[in-house]
Amino acid sequence: MENKIGISERFISDELSNNLKQNLIDLNAASLLLAAGIGNSEKLSFDGKIRNDAIYWLDKKHNNVFENEFFDKIDAFVPYLNESCFAGITGYEFHYSLYEKGDFYLKHLDQFKNNSSRKYSMISYLNSNWKESDGGELMIHQNNSEQKISPIQGKTVFFKSNELVHEVLVTQNTRMSITGWLKSD
């Protein structure tokens, strides 16, 4: 963790990243991704002027071998986090996120006003051969400064959901990730 942001360059392997990316591509080709909303089930809205990516929720019930391998990584990480940081994580939720050229997500916090169960945000990128000109960086705003994080394959970003305002800058290329939250219910 540096400046309240944890970055692992290889939290997930290239092989797993490639398999998850192909799964996301297949789900998209089958028209299974949905427009991403703003808020939770109690206050869900859709506004393409704020956010215009598409998502697909991961679930162990899908019994997808690659999603389950990702969940195994998370299942190993959570006890470590709880033991080393006394984080009190009791669950999690993750979704694929797909941004097409021109897509973005304006500044926001990852914690709902009416539900504080999201404790940590995690984003694992699935983009090989990403170039600076592709845009789509995660921009984190804190202490009157900004930090851009490129969405490069294998990289995972980790931060407290209620502390860091962030956004996804306009992408010039298809941008793929698994985005989620470690929760304390």
pLDDT in tens, 55-98: 999 999 999 999 999 999 999 999 999 999 899 999 999 999 99
Indicate if the alpha-carbon torsion angle 64, 65, 67, 72 is positive or negative: positive
Q: How many CB atoms lie within 10 A of CB 24?
A: 23
Name the pLDDT band for 52 (thresholds 50, 70, 90).
Answer: very high
Is 154 in contact with 13 (CB distance < 8 Å)? yes
Cα–Cα distance measured from residue 151 to residue 138, given in angstroms and rounded to the nearest whole number: 7
Name the pLDDT band for 108 (thresholds 50, 70, 90).
Answer: confident
The pLDDT of residue 97: 97
Q: Is 145 helix (H, G, I), strand (E, B) or coil?
A: strand
Mean pLDDT, the chain, integer: 92
Give the percent of the chain with pLDDT over 70: 95
Is 4 in contact with 159 (CB distance < 8 Å)? yes
Q: Is 75 helix (H, G, I), strand (E, B) or coil?
A: helix
Closest CA to 134 of 121, 147, 154, 148: 148
Q: Which amino acid is at 131?
A: K
Give the global pTM. 0.92
Q: Is the pLDDT of residue 42 over 70?
A: no
